[in-house]
Amino acid sequence: MLDKIFFIIACIIIPVLWGVIVNWIFNQWQDRSNNNSDDDYIFPDYQI
Amino acid sequence: MGFGWFDFFLISSAGGLIGFLAGMFGVGGGFLLVPILNIVLGIPMELAVGASACQVLGPATTSLLARKIKFRDLFFPLVITGGLLLGVIAGTGILEHAKSSTSVVLNARNIIVADLVVLIAYLFMLTGLGVLSLRSARRDDSELKGTLFTERFQIPPVARFPSLVEEPLSIPVIAWFGLGLGLLSGLLGISGGLLLFPVLIFGLGIPTHRAITCSLMIVWIVAFQSTIAHAWHGNINIMIVIALLLGGTVGARLGSDLNARLKGLQLRRQFGWLLLSVALMIGARLVFLLAG
């Protein structure tokens, strides 16, 4: 039972953590682009 | 079910291709993922459905974090959540029942019931949506605005969602829609954006930019519930999910870049043909399964 609960938590945490990391990478990239360019940066629009 | 590095690469490549198409057309891609994982890569149907439902949480989290969500944006998603939960439980229950039935003998062939149920459901859904998409491709974006549910289905009690739409919306209609969406998500592993987005815009008359945020939140909730239900039934293989997350992110980024260069009419026509092509692939698989 405990194994099952840990497995469910892992199934939720792995993709959510991945989503947070990808968002962080894009934010870093956005900051770098803003520093290098005077043009307004438009964040890529994802729709699920 | 064990996976080697080659299988991991294959699944990740499939995830990349589907992510590209999903990014190009602005959808989650679960409706492509499950048939390709099952028919092309031979992954058991319940694992394909579970992985598809679980991996959606990754891109959905990224998309939600990229937007500034206000408290008032949560009202509609919270109203639909009850229906979604019951739908997800019913959908995974049907899949679980089909899985436990193992196989039936038809034309002297052993057919896995779960494959049959999911493929038939996909065939009907994709054919219907493909035809609708091709029909809507004949009309301009401005002609497609409609408020079908706010004008014809005002079943009480109703509620107002000032952040979304001026007209009051029927709570039972929202809950039943959530039930249907949750059922399809639990049974087919789709995120629901494919059905959600046209209903929010053309059915409820919600403006496009508000519908995107609302759709994203509902997709996240339905993916969360679906992941718990499929993990509980042992339908999720973590390695498949990781492979899909890796490939899908790169593909989605490339696809969304191409999306900006295409027009709405062009996109709807190509999307309609894509849906019908996948429906044709599923139809061919069903004929092969049933007739041998």
pLDDT at residue number B229: 93
Residue of chain A with shortest Cα separation from B243 = A15
**Global pTM value:** 0.84
> Which of B59, B220, B238 is opposite residue A14, by nearest beta carbon?
B238
Going residue by residue through chain A, which has 48 residues, state the pLDDT in tens, using 9 for 90 and above: 889 999 999 999 999 999 899 888 888 887 777 776 555 555 555 444
Between chains, do B57 and A26 touch, taking CB under 8 Å as contact? no
Q: Is B54 an 8 Å CB contact of chain A?
A: yes
pLDDT at residue number B159: 85
Q: How far is CA B32 from CA B9, B27, B173, in A?
A: 18, 10, 28
pLDDT at residue number B26: 67
Torsion, CA A17, CA A19, CA A21, CA A27, rounded to 10: -150
pLDDT at residue number B48: 93
Q: Which amino acid is at B284?
A: A
Mean pLDDT, consecutive 10-residue stretches, chain B (292 aa), reads: 82 88 76 89 92 89 80 87 92 88 75 86 89 74 56 78 82 91 89 79 75 84 92 94 89 72 69 88 88 72
CB B55 within 8 A of CB B241: yes
User: How far apart (Å, rounded) are the C-alpha atoms in residues B277 and B191?
Assistant: 20
Residue of chain A with shortest Cα separation from B27 = A48
> Where are the extended beta strands (E) located within chain B?
103-106, 109-112, 158-161, 165-170
> Which of A16, A43, A47 is opposite residue B193, by nearest beta carbon?
A47
- Interface probe with A: pick from B57, B228, B257, B267, most Cβ of A within 10 Å: B57
Between chains, do A15 and B241 touch, taking CB under 8 Å as contact? yes
pLDDT at residue number B123: 93
The residues facing B112 across adjacent strands are: B103
pLDDT at residue number B52: 92
CA B240, B88, B98, B231 torsion: positive or negative? positive
Q: Is A43 an 8 Å CB contact of chain B?
A: yes
> Does ipTM come in above 0.90?
no
Residue-by-residue DSSP string for B230-261:
HHHTT---HHHHHHHHHHHHHHHHHHHHHHTT
| Nearest residue to B276 (alpha-carbon basis) of B132, B135, B130 | B130
Residue of chain A with shortest Cα separation from B225 = A12
| Nearest residue to B58 (alpha-carbon basis) of B194, B219, B260, B257 | B219
User: What residues of A are in contact with residue B215 (Cβ under 8 Å)?
Assistant: 47-48
